[in-house]
Amino acid sequence: MYCTQCGTKTESIIPPLDNRLRNVCPACGYIHYVNPNNIVGVIATFNGKVLLCKRNTEPRKNYWTVPAGFMENGETLLEGAQREAYEEVGIEPMPSNLFMTYSVPHISQVHFYFYSKLKNQSTRIGDEINDVMFADHSEVPWDDLAFNSIRVLLEHFFKVGDEKAADSFFNLSSNG
């Protein structure tokens, strides 16, 4: 890669006082750290049913997920989750709590899902989504979920139940 600060080709070396290979610029010394990405999302419900949305983009186009996406610089977890929910399905959730964190170390991601009860079922489908549904446990398209993290999230939500979800928090990982 090339240095983001000065454009010089970087070298892969272990910097002093470090123990991992990093891309280091031989010209200006800038160290390009690569750290896990944060995914922020919302498990939004109405009358006990969960809002699911069908992806209109790759990867996993036409598979079901919840409103979620990459956190942006300069925003909080909650702001990121609310932004994604509004962009993707036009909802303005007032998340009552952080319901689940989910670490996926093999792809260096950490997911943060807020729980929110919606006041109504109105949605506005953005470009990234091509369908929405409100599903109870039996209506969830379990074989057509976009990611394993969504399966874990939904399984935990239905195990806890809509009434107790607002007071629940789970810190889970794909490592078990």
Sites of contact with Zn ion (CB under 5 A): 3, 5-6, 8, 25, 27-28, 30
Judged by beta carbon, residue 7 or residue 161, the one nearer Zn ion is 7
Question: Beta strands of the chain (E only): which ranges?
Answer: 11-13, 22-24, 31-32, 37-46, 49-55, 64-65, 68-70, 97-104, 109-117, 129-135, 170-173
Judged by beta carbon, residue 5 or residue 121, the one nearer Zn ion is 5
- Shortest distance, CB of residue 138 to Zn ion, whole angstroms? 56
- Shortest distance, CB of residue 23 to Zn ion, whole angstroms? 10
- Shortest distance, CB of residue 11 to Zn ion, whole angstroms? 11
Pairing of strands 49-55, 37-46: antiparallel
- Shortest distance, CB of residue 132 to Zn ion, whole angstroms? 46
Judged by beta carbon, residue 4 or residue 37, the one nearer Zn ion is 4
Judged by beta carbon, residue 29 or residue 141, the one nearer Zn ion is 29
Spatial separation of the C-alpha atoms in residues 71 and 24, rounded to whole Å: 26
The DSSP symbol for 59 reads S
The DSSP symbol for 169 reads -
Pairing of strands 109-117, 97-104: antiparallel
